[in-house]
């Protein structure tokens, strides 16, 4: 009876919805029936005589029963997920209010996530049976689960409300760039400037008066808050996905573990798609050319500082105790998410650096004969840029904090590359045919 119609042992309320609590006994019966079916299939296949018509017919009958049973089971599981997601998201305690700050919104999302996941735990036995009898049906169930999370617990509306409530409102400012205060003559919320726009360093003064207006610090409050409040939520989602769909068994070989991690990553990537969308925005990453909706301009300086904070946040998600299982998989997923963001912010800043190197190599302000070039415009402005970098890196830190950029390979490498371009520009000007060689020899060299 249970194999023919597993829904017959599930309890429904008057509205036709599944009564999750009262159906626990039915879930146990379905679990037992599924195990018995697996034993019967294994016995028929391993005892031999499969070439005999009677044995072959028995195996075919059991296989057909298994296919029908698992199809019904998958529909029950997805129905329960849909129902629980709707109930949790419509709960007044989990609904985001207009006056809620980012901490309250983050707490509401966490509580909704826990409630949803706790309710699903009693149905994990059904997923175990699906994995036992028909593992190829699990990806569809997993996709349905991740879609429900993306449209419910971690929906675009919730993520948008959370990121818009952050102290600096970076996600809003960069999306509506022309409506916020900025430097005179620059209708932009971005703090990034081309090297040519920085004031030249004066030999008589280490702090030129015009520098303070342009060297605004980046807003790191939003990045710090989002990493502290949202990454644990993402880690929990990865942990639960791995546990629910059995993706982190300790007894698998390396190749299977990698496949399972990729499956979990695909699922959680979809579940957390709106978190990553708004996170890229507050990290100063420009929208893709073919992106839908509001286009966001990149902020290279914000991306540089975001890279540093992302690098620091990685430390909290290293599996030092080598626990393995779901715990290790969830930490690995968060590290992969951080690395993906770091690649994007580093790329954003590196593109800016390459553009500045092109300007440096154009030898701006240097006459053809080289005479009276003075301190090259690019050389005179580079220290101002470095000052701005340090101002931004120290934003939100203690007064005695001194950022060690040499520890971050990408930052260190490309700053050195800019410095090398300055020397290459000087050498090029000294060697070109139009330059007065006496001036080149006595002054430039």
Read off the pLDDT band of 149 (50, 70, 90).
very high
Coil, helix or strand at residue 369: coil
Encode pLDDT of 252-292 as tens digits: 677 888 888 899 999 999 999 999 999 998 898 887 765 56
Of all residues in the chain, what percent carry a pLDDT higher than 70? 87
Q: What is the pTM of this model?
A: 0.83
pLDDT value at 412 more than 50: yes
Read off the pLDDT band of 404 (50, 70, 90).
confident
Report the pLDDT averaged over residues 131-159: 93
pLDDT value at 106 more than 90: yes
pLDDT value at 33 more than 50: yes
Q: Which tokens sit at 293?
A: 């909706």
Instruction: Report which of residues 429 and 72 the model is more confident about.
Output: 72
Coil, helix or strand at residue 12: strand
Q: Which of 40-49, 224-233, 324-333 has the lowest mean pLDDT?
A: 40-49
Those residues whose C-beta lies under 8 Å from the C-beta of residue 270, and which sit 6 or more positions away, are 143, 146, 147, 150
pLDDT value at 176 more than 90: no
Q: Which of 161-165, 245-249, 376-380 has the lowest mean pLDDT?
A: 245-249
Report the pLDDT averaged over residues 86-99: 86
pLDDT value at 186 more than 90: no
pLDDT value at 397 more than 60: yes
The Cα 204–Cα 133 span in angstroms is 80
* pLDDT in the model for residue 48: 60
Beta carbons within 10 angstroms of residue 199's beta carbon: 17
The Cα 92–Cα 72 span in angstroms is 33
* pLDDT in the model for residue 187: 36
Q: Which of 118-122, 208-212, 300-304 has the lowest mean pLDDT?
A: 208-212
């Amino acid at each position: 009876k249970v194999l023919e119609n597993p829904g017959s042992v599930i309890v429904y309320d008057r509205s036709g919805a599944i009564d999750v609590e009262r159906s626990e006994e039915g879930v146990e019966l379905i679990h037992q029936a599924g195990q018995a079916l697996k034993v019967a299939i294994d016995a028929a296949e391993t005892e031999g005589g499969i070439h005999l018509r009677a044995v072959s017919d028995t195996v075919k009958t059991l296989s057909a029963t298994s296919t029908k049973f698992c199809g019904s089971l998958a529909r029950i599981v997805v129905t329960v997920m849909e129902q629980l997601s709707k109930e949790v998201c419509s709960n007044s305690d989990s609904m985001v209010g207009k006056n809620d700050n980012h901490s309250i919104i983050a707490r509401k999302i966490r509580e909704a996530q826990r409630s949803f996941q706790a309710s699903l735990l009693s149905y994990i036995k059904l997923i175990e049976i699906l994995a036992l009898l028909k593992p190829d049906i699990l990806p569809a169930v997993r996709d349905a689960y991740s879609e429900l999370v993306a449209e419910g617990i971690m929906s675009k509306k919730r993520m948008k409300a959370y990121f818009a409530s952050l102290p600096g409102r970076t996600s809003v400012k960069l999306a509506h760039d022309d409506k916020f205060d900025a430097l005179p003559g620059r209708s932009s919320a971005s703090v990034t400037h081309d090297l040519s726009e920085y004031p030249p360093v004066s030999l008589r003064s280490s702090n030129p008066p015009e520098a303070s207006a342009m060297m605004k610090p980046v807003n790191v409050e939003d990045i710090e808050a989002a990493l502290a409040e949202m990454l644990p939520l993402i880690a929990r989602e990865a942990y639960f996905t791995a546990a629910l769909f059995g993706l982190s068994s300790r007894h698998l070989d390396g190749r299977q573990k990698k496949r399972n991690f990729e499956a979990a990553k695909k699922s959680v990537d979809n579940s957390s798609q709106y978190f990553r969308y708004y996170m890229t925005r507050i990290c100063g990453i420009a929208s893709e050319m073919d992106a839908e909706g509001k286009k966001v301009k990149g902020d290279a300086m914000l991306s540089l500082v975001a890279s540093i904070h992302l690098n620091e946040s990685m430390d909290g998600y290293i599996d030092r105790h080598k626990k393995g299982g779901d715990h290790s998989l969830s930490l690995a997923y968060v590290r992969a998410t951080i690395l993906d963001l770091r690649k994007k912010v580093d790329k954003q800043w590196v593109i800016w650096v390459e553009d500045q190197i092109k300007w440096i190599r154009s030898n701006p302000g240097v006459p053809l004969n080289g005479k009276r070039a003075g301190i090259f415009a690019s050389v005179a402005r580079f220290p101002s840029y470095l000052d701005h970098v340090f101002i931004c890196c120290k934003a939100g830190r203690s007064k005695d904090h001194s950022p060690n950029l040499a520890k971050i390979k990408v930052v260190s490498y490309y700053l050195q590359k800019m410095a090398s371009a300055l020397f290459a520009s000087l050498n090029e000007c000294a060697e070109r045919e139009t330059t007065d060689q006496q001036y080149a020899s006595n002054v430039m060299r």
